[in-house]
Amino acid sequence: MLKQIIFIIALLITLGVFTYTLLNLIALFKLTKPFPIKDFGKRFSMMLTVAFGQTKIFRKPVIGLMHALVFWGFCVIIVGSIEMVIDGVFGLEKSLGFLGVLYDVIFASGDIFALLIFVFILLFIGRRAFLNIKRFTGIELTHKNHLDAYIALSIIFLLMFSLLGMNTFYVLSTSAGDLKGIYPVSSAIADLIGRGEEDADFYQAFWWMHILLIFAFANILPYSKHFHVFLSVPNVFLSRLEPLGKLYNMDNITREVKMMMNPETAFAASDGNAAPERFGVKDAEDVNWKNYFDALSCTQCGRCTAVCPANITGKKLSPRKLMMDLRARMKEKGPFLVKDKAFNDNKSLNVDYFSAEEIWACTTCNACAKECPININHPSLIVDMRRYLVMEEGSAPSGIKAAFTNVENNGAPWQFSPEDRLLWAKNM
């Protein structure tokens, strides 16, 4: 009974802290602009292929397989975590045991995956610490970012250690006839250890260690780069379905053009809202909610930056930095905007965080969006930042400004009079 009470208190604290974090995030999302979602059938198919199938991660076969096995392992192991919550709340033991053969399959798989993840996490930590992986470096990655990665990996390592310990001492403290589930790895470890009088105590110790680590990890994740553990699957579901090269039209500009072409049509289609406050993206509150969801989902793996032709040729542009900057800027400014919509700290995402040099270095080739394992679309945000610079600041590289002037004066980007446009065919 005491165990049950302590567990319920720990669970309520966990849910309370997580709810507090969630409400804060919802408040920040309310600051952003709308983004329509449709075609749910196609999205579900993409989620199964990209998120659960981990297809994009296999572009690097070895490390991709390791990462995929870690992901699939978590999908299986989470069933055991759900069982632990049910057991803790209702004072039961192995409450899902009624599943029979399915229970055996799930927990045998989870036991094997626990060992695989245990080993792979050690390799991931060693890879970060001792191998000079270029995409794990960059001006946007501070000591805090690297520490964040090590903390998350260490917690996952301890989760697998405690899970294997819990399963091992469950096997040792339970008679064969009462054992629920199959634990091939833990049974082999149990044979090496041998039975002892304190096996049941060790089982309880590892049980508490594992569940409390889960509770702690769940509340650390929203403040970590590993928030993608929660958000990667829904982010793939919400990813854009159009070809990567397609640029969205700006509704407010479309409305202005319609008004010029046919004022009656424009007013008939108008929803009566006031004129938009801003063209494009200047600061965090100007992005749409999907952009911010992308920023929270980003795991900072650097695959986007590693394939960016601008970055490869030595330019400052880093698509990963864009996502990190948006998340950091919203964290900095968002809480003040929630209290006062007119708040202004005289800084902005556009230029102060992500410089004009970086914005104009992008070739919109979409290599970053294609490479991202969770379908983050960086170029769409960069284009919106350019739109602000051009339409509100009148700022653009000289070559682009010349093209704009030519379009305005000559109806084409070239510096020739429309009357001379067919001179090239004069002697043909």
Q: Is a pLDDT exceeding 90 seen at residue 278?
A: no
Question: Lowest mean pLDDT: which of 211-215, 219-223, 272-276, 386-390?
Answer: 272-276
Q: Is a pLDDT exceeding 80 seen at residue 273?
A: no
31's CB contacts (< 8 A; 6+ apart) are 284, 285, 330, 334, 337, 338
DSSP state of 120: H
CATH topology of domain 251-268+276-396: Fumarate Reductase Iron-sulfur Protein; Chain B, domain 2 (1.10.1060)
Give the containing element (helix H, strand E) for 69.
Answer: helix 61-90
Q: What is the C-alpha separation between 47 and 67, in angstroms, rounded?
A: 17
The angle, 0 to 180 degrees and rounded to 10, between the axes of the packed helices 101-130 and 61-90 is 130
Q: Is a pLDDT exceeding 60 seen at residue 250?
A: yes
Q: Give percent above pLDDT 70 in the chain.
A: 96
Give the pLDDT confidence of 144-201 residue by residue, as tens digits. 999 999 999 999 999 999 999 999 999 999 988 889 999 999 999 999 998 888 999 9
Q: Is a pLDDT exceeding 70 seen at residue 266?
A: no
Instruction: Give the pLDDT score at 70.
Output: 96
Question: Lowest mean pLDDT: which of 56-60, 277-281, 417-421?
Answer: 417-421
Token pair 């974090």 is found at 21
C-alpha of 107 from chain center? 28
Q: How confident is the model at residue 275 (pLDDT cuts 50, 70, 90)?
A: low
Q: How many residues does the chain have?
A: 428
Q: What is the C-alpha separation between 97 and 74, in angstroms, rounded?
A: 20
Q: What is the C-alpha separation between 214 and 88, in angstroms, rounded?
A: 13
Q: Provide the mean pLDDT of the chain.
A: 92
> 198-219 burial by CB neighbour count: b if 16+ within 10 A, else e?
ebeebbeebbbbbbebbbbbbb
Residue 274 has φ and ψ, to the nearest 5°, of -70, 165
Enumerate the domain spans of the chain: 2-226, 251-268+276-396
Give the pLDDT confidence of 162-173 residue by residue, as tens digits. 999 999 999 999
* Over residues 388-405, mean pLDDT: 88
Instruction: Give the pLDDT score at 132.
Output: 87
Token pair 């208190």 is found at 9
Using left for φ > 0, alpha for ψ between -120 and 50, and beta otherwise, residue 318 falls in beta
Instruction: Give the pLDDT score at 263.
Output: 65
